[in-house]
Amino acid sequence: MLTSAPHTLRVAVTDIGMVGTAEHTEAAGILEAYLAQLAPMDPRHWSALRRELKIRYFPKGASVLKQGDHCHEVEFVIDGLARSYTVTEKGREFTWAFHFNAPDANLKNLFVTDYAGVISRSRQDFNVETLTAMTTIAIPVSEIRRLFGHSPAWQNVGRRIAEEAYVLTHRRALSLLTKSATERYQEFVSENPRLIALLPEFQVAAYVGITPQSLSRIKRGGDYQT
């Protein structure tokens, strides 16, 4: 499958620290509740981050991150759907993750970023495009580094995030290395039942790591081992 670049669409950005509407307060509360699950958080530590947050509204088909750029903000998904994908030199797309906020969402679903790029301060390996309209909270990477460097509470949050990100990356890599395409598709259906009804077949195929034609054969009952 050949790639098509995400559309360049207008993105609305509102500063949560300056706009105190109920919607912005609710969005910030969703992020705070998630972080509180990772580690206890003193209200003053949360306040330090809250002042730096921005809420963003992306239309469908918008580019959130571009492969080759530096990531200066991490996006936490409030609602909507997006995907992270990379493009080979031959123009083939491979989807790494889908991003959404739901009860079954994990760390990679909730946060839109290239963890390796942020940690190593290198250019991004992934594009991220929205598949529906999406609302996120943008967290400055510079502020994350500052908090991790000065606050034991935030260091604990960072450790928990790093641990979960490693486990998820390990499982994804092992699945690609050791499971057949049929097994990977069955795994995706089992773990992401809500996405099957939302995604076109070519995007599911890009995640499984095969062509849409091969996915069609799998769905018809034909075995496909690659």
Task: Supply the DSSP string of 1-51, one letter for each residue.
Answer: -B--PPB----EEEETTT---HHHHHHHHHHHHHHHHHS---HHHHHHHHT
Please enumerate in sequence order all residues whose Cβ is within 8 A of that of 182, keeping only pairs 6 or more positions apart, or say none.
Answer: 218, 223, 224, 225
Q: Domain for residue 113, yes or no? A: yes
Q: Domain for residue 179, yes or no? A: no
User: What is the pLDDT, as a whole number, of residue 170?
Assistant: 94
Closest Cα partner for 211 from 197, 201, 221? Answer: 201
User: What is the pLDDT, as a whole number, of residue 15?
Assistant: 60
Segment 25-82, tens digit of pLDDT: 888 889 988 888 888 777 777 887 888 888 899 999 999 989 888 889 999 999 999 9
Segment 52-63, tens digit of pLDDT: 888 899 999 999
pLDDT band, very low/low/confident/very high, at 120 (cuts 50, 70, 90)? confident
3-class DSSP state for residue 74? strand
- Asked whether residue 223 carries a pLDDT value surpassing 60, the answer given is no
Q: Domain for residue 16, yes or no? A: yes
Q: Domain for residue 189, yes or no? A: no
CATH of the domain at 126: 2.60.120.10
**Domain extent for 136:** 12-151
Total domains, the chain: 1
Q: Domain for residue 200, yes or no? A: no
Q: Domain for residue 173, yes or no? A: no
- Asked whether residue 8 carries a pLDDT value surpassing 60, the answer given is no
The structure tokens listed for 73 are: 């903000």
Q: Domain for residue 77, yes or no? A: yes
- Asked whether residue 226 carries a pLDDT value surpassing 70, the answer given is no
For the entire predicted model, the pTM comes to 0.85
- Asked whether residue 6 carries a pLDDT value surpassing 90, the answer given is no
User: What is the pLDDT, as a whole number, of residue 42?
Assistant: 76
3-class DSSP state for residue 43? helix
Q: Domain for residue 57, yes or no? A: yes
User: What is the pLDDT, as a whole number, of residue 175?
Assistant: 94
User: What is the pLDDT, as a whole number, of residue 210?
Assistant: 93
User: What is the pLDDT, as a whole number, of residue 5?
Assistant: 44
Of residues 171 and 13, more confidence is placed in 171
Per-residue pLDDT, averaged over 130-157, amounts to 90
Please enumerate in sequence order all residues whose Cβ is within 8 A of that of 217, keeping only pairs 6 or more positions apart, or say none.
Answer: 224
The phi, psi pair for 210, rounded to 5°, reads: -135, 175
Nearest 5°: the CA angle 112, 226, 99 is 15
User: What is the pLDDT, as a whole number, of residue 4?
Assistant: 43
